[in-house]
Each structure stands twice: as C-alpha cells, then as structure tokens.
Amino acid sequence: MPRPPIERSVAGVPRITLFKPAGVPARELDRLRLAVDELEAIRLVDLEGLSHERAAEAMGVSRQTVGRVLERGRAKVADALVGGKAIEISGGQYRVEPRQLRCFACREEWPMRDMGSDAASCPRCGSDDVTVCRGPQGRCGRPGGAPGRGRDQGNHGPRCGGIDA
Ligand SMILES: [Zn+2]
C-alpha cells in the first residue's frame, strides 16, 4: 500500500492564481498547472534566497523533496515563458501555516497574511528590519535566510519558540 503523501507546509496561497500571455485568446492557449507547493519552493529558494536545507525545514519535508518539487516548478515556469503558455496555480500537497512576523525596531508582531510583499515591512512603524518569528516547528529566521544583525537571541517574540533557524 502506498504511503499517504506528506503535506508540505506553505506560508500562504497566492492572491493571483492565473497568468496568461497578453493578446492571445484563452482558447488558443496551453495551460500549465503549477501546484501551490511548487510555487512555495520557488518562492523560498529563488525569491527569498533560502538554501534547499532551510526551505526543506520551512516546508517540513526532506531536502530531496524540496529539490524535486523545485525542479518541477521551475520546469513549468520555464515551459510557460518560453512556450507562451498560461499558468494556473492550484492544487498540490500542502497545508497553509501562516508565519508569525516580528519587527526588530518596535517589536510589533503580526501574522503573514499571504505570500505577497506584506512580509517586507512592519505595519506599525514601517521598518523593514523584520524577521519570520515563527514558522513551522517554532523556528525563528530572517526572511531571505540572511544572518541576523548581531545576536538575535533574546529578541524573539513571546509566542515564538525562540530557536534560531
Ligand atoms: Zn515596527
């Protein structure tokens, strides 16, 4: 009997779920389906700059799985861009686990609402010195995987596990 698939933890689902080439009627377009977990792997590695190891931690899967999911996602994006195909983002093996974000300047905490750019700055003071304070497994880490400025210990939020990623 096959094992049930492991769900991959994603920070959110995208607001925009359909991309199509301009000026081509939809009926003439091939449409690819990019799974939400494939997009999450691309987001974490290609956009946020995380290593496969860190991305695997964030998604709660092995490094091999992240590598596989990432390659599949990249191939679809490349196929769509080169071949002029539409991309629909839907499906996949995932569960949504919103990340908790924290501002280093004013210590405000807020949940990441979706995969958009609202992760980039503090809603209270506007500082962009923010960290992902709690992801899956209660880990802290800076978006982008960049090392924190100085010692981050003792700078975790009250709802955070306080573990540096
Ligand atoms: Zn702030």
Task: Report the distance separating Cα 76 and Cα 18, nearest Å.
Answer: 14
Asked if pLDDT for residue 155 goes beyond 60, the answer is: no
Residue 140: what pLDDT?
53
| 124 Cα to the center of ligand 1, angstroms | 5
Chain segment 43-79, per-residue pLDDT in tens: 999 998 889 998 998 899 999 999 999 999 999 999 9
Joined together, the tokens standing for residue 141 give 């880490």
CA pair distance 54, 140, nearest whole angstrom? 11
pLDDT of residue 158 exceeding 60 = no
Enumerate domains of the chain plus CATH numbers: 8-95 (1.10.10), 99-164 (no CATH)
Task: List residues, by chain if needed, whose CB lies under 5 Å from ion ligand 1.
Answer: 103, 105-106, 108, 122, 124-125, 127
Angle at 141 between CA 137 and CA 146, to 5 degrees: 145
Ligand 1 mean position to 68 CA, how many Å? Answer: 37
Give the model confidence (pLDDT) of 90-127 as tens digits.
999 998 887 777 888 888 888 776 555 445 678 889 88
Q: Sign of the CA dihedral 140, 143, 146, 149?
A: negative
Residue 159 Cα to ligand 1 midpoint, Å, equals 17
Distance 112 CA to ligand 1 centre (A): 14
Mean pLDDT of the chain: 79
* pLDDT at site 145: 41
Percent of the chain with pLDDT over 90: 39
